[in-house]
Structure 1
Amino acid sequence: MKFFDRFKSAKPDQKSPDQPFSTEENGQTPDVPIEQDTLISSAHFGSNTESVAAEIPADAVVVNEAEVGLDGELASSGVVTATDSIGTGDSKAGFFLRLKQGLKRTTDGFSSGMGTLFLGKKEIDEELLEELETQLLIADVGVEATRDIMETLAKQVSRRELADPQALYRGLQKELAELLEHSREPLQIDETKKPYVILVVGVNGVGKTTTIGKLGKRFQAEGKSVMLAAGDTFRAAAVEQLQVWGERNNVPVIAQHTGADSASVIFDAVQAAQARKVDVLIADTAGRLHNKDNLMEELKKVVRVMGKLDSTAPHEVMLVLDAGTGQNALSQAKAFQEVVGVTGITVTKLDGTAKGGIIFAISKQLQLPIRFIGVGEQIDDLRPFAADDFVAALFNSE
């Protein structure tokens, strides 16, 4: 079929320009953790100061943060309080409706485009296949994934397994769902690991700190004890966001002053979490460009320092990707995978882009579990990824 011809000489996707980056690009710091000036909110520990003494470094500073006004990520989504409902027990229908609403910008383009494409068609011809290919590329499904889908569908058409446009439409949904096969692995907290350490990484501005707050609330709703490590020491707002979130939800936050060694903060946090037998420790890290070698090396250092306290940590390296960056998210993911061995992905800001098809490109090329997707600003809008529901929502069907 002629519609494949231009794929044969297709060039790799062009990377979009790198985003501004706030992390300092100075030299490396030594691996030895510096346990100085660690900030731990006193409100997090209540009145049981004796049990806390063993886990706070001798020279740590214990502070009681004021209600800080926020300009950053968590402020835009609303700081979550302990009384807010996470909605983990909502109905299947309610979840699906929220998912469709969150994916509205993608589905408006995708499902309407597909609907128009198939409307009134009585037979499958080359024009239909070419237009179908175009719709997939517009949705940012990616050249490689689109090629595989179209080749499979074309073979089925030639064997008359798909006899009419309606059968092709159903076949497309099936192929998209199968493309997500590698992503169907939800995050499972190993309760034998205390703490179960989640290291959150990604470039600047993808929503790491917001994601951490929402994850912490989700784990709390499941009855787990949670601690946060403010490892993004280069952006003052990131530390403040986690501290305020912790204050309002009675979650301990381990932090140091702006510009401190991130590995030192996370070392202190692992020590404190071990002493308190915390279920889940979520560690924030500074945003960094995936093509800056010295900054990526700092992540390796964080992992090495964790290993001095727990050889199995981190138990999850969660890469946060912004859906709006499109195909550039793939180059980011490959770079982080090489450096720290990503084990799961969270895709944020799906509600703010018409390029929700990037989910398929991620699954195809990276073959990593997609743990969560962000489809809105509310706490409930960070959802465990359900592949079949995602595909159904794209096609605006139940």
Structure 2
Amino acid sequence: MFERLEAEFASRLGRECLYVPSNRFGLFIALRHRMDPGQRLLVSPNSADEILFLVLAAGLRPVIAPIDPRTGAIDAHAIDDLRFDGILTTNLYGVPDDVITLGRACAERGIPLIEDAAHAIQTSVADGPVGTFGDAGVFSLSKAAGASPGGIVAMASPSDRQALGELRDHWLTPRYPATELGILLKTAVRNAIVATSLARPVWELGQWLGMHEPRRGHRIPLRRAALAGRLTGTGTLYPGLDALAPWVRADNHHYRMRQGPLTERHALRRLKVLEATRERRLAGVRRLSQLETVAPGVREHLDQPLFRVPLLVEDRDKAIEALRRVGVITGYVYDPPFDDYAPGLVEPSPAPAAARWWSQHALPIDPLQTDRALPILTKLSAPTWTPSV
């Protein structure tokens, strides 16, 4: 099952590919395969909540990297003095990490490079697709493609397929066809309304019905005491997904459920839609790049159909509410950075100021919604203070 989808990605990427039910699940098995419990993993401070928790579930120690304030990505030139045993890129909003420099650092140390390509399904670097530079690249089908559920692990060595397949099968939960159908129907409805005037009332209805994970600001509640108990309750360095399920499953409670042929057909159709909207996405990126508030790194990637275009604005929360009133729902805001969100559970960044600034001011905009958003965006002000590059 999923041979057609795996073959489609293999032809795009030139790598052996393995289907997984979500990006987060794929990252977990890739980390489990390539790293040992107790090792240190260099990560960006600005990423989704579940990334932190799946790293902890794998028994790894997150080491928070300094970031480049121009892109929000790991500052590849500021990591030489840090101790780590592997690197996990983020490719935030589709803006590529400096994977060439990071890959060189990994090669010199003899450690793995894992690429989180959830936001970067259409992004390339030096004529090579993101996700094909490290030991493994993990894609999401639910982001730009709008094909929830699903993900793909692209591996550098075909010999890894058996081990990754065994890890996948070990951690998968049973398939429930009715649940799978419900997920696909909700995904179809979401895709149909996301760029219409119905987006706001449907989002508000979802809030009222409790369909969105409870949040404290832009992060889910850490529940430190409960989390600490789950991390130590197994008596080993490797808690696993079951122990940290309430945290790893944030906003996707079926992230490791087996899927059937209907999901594969849906994903293949959505990939065609993704390609069909590529030029519209590029046009949106170019228009948004003309705003004075656009993150400077975006202007270096105007040939990339970014998942989101990050702007840097003074009053983000006010901007989010103004956009919501015109039907533009803003997600993928990662504030505060991991070392402020979970002190004591991570090794903090040696230079946290840029990440704090970025996480406070970053406003990600879907380039496909440029027309609807632009009247609001043109009125926004850039931050009054900017960290030095």
Determine which structure has the larger helix proportion and give its number. 1
With the length of structure 1 as denominator, give the TM-score of the two structures.
0.24
With normalisation by structure 2, the TM-score equals: 0.24
